[in-house]
Structure 1
Amino acid sequence: MSSHAIDISLLGRTYSINCPKGQERALQHVAQKLEVQLNSLKTRTHNLSREEVAIMAALNTGYELLEEQQKNQDYNKQMDEKIGLLQSTIENALVERSIKED
């Protein structure tokens, strides 16, 4: 897959980032969300350096990702349990039906 560089701005600096063709909007959207988070952190924590603000944003994003992964795991577990219950119900119904037919 080919890629090309697009420019994004974060905390007043412009970065040229390689991006796969067709993913430009997604990268720009992520950059905009990151810019909002960085500016919010910078406003709340006046004495942090640019690097420290970036680290805080990375930690926040990592935590949000971890929470979403946990939600997905919980959801998958619930769906597996429901599927197992449905399979068991169907099997029991089929067994009962075959017993009645005999």
Structure 2
Amino acid sequence: MGNKAIDITLMGRTYSIACPEGQEEALRHVAHNLETQLVSLKARTNNLSREEIAIMAALNTGYELLEEKQKNQDYNKQMDHKIGLLQSTLENALVERSTKTD
């Protein structure tokens, strides 16, 4: 699979971005979400430069990613705990069954 250049527009500027084939729609979706965030930040903070707005958007996105990673880690810990309980329950049931048949 090769890369394909697609054009995305952010804050009135068009950028040609290399994108793996088949991932174009995902990149467009991310670009749309970023554009929405940039426009919102610009409207709320009219005196910031493009660079400052981009940095704020990057920080917001990084924070959201960090929150999602934490949720994922918490979920994995819960699932590990539940799997451990299930394994313990199954092992106990098998031990009880083997002692009854002896």
C-alpha offsets along residues 7-64 of structure 1, whole Å, 9 cap, x if unaligned? Answer: 0000000000001111110000000000000000000000100000000000000000
Equivalent AA in structure 1 for residue 98 of structure 2: S
Q: Which runs of 4+ in 1 moved over 3 A?
A: none
1:19 aligns to what SS in structure 2? strand
Residue 43 (structure 1) aligns with: 43
Deviation of the 1:4 alpha carbon = 1.5
Q: Which runs of 5+ in 2 are unaligned?
A: none
Give the length in aligned residue pairs: 102
The 5 Å alignment of 1:1-102 reads: 1-102=1-102
Q: Structure 1 stretches of 5 or more lacking a match?
A: none
Output the CA distance in 2 between the equivalents of 1:99 and 1:5. 67
Separation in structure 2 between the aligned mates of residue 10 and residue 57 of structure 1, nearest angstrom? 12
Q: CA RMSD in A?
A: 0.5
Q: TM-score, normalising length from structure 1? A: 0.98
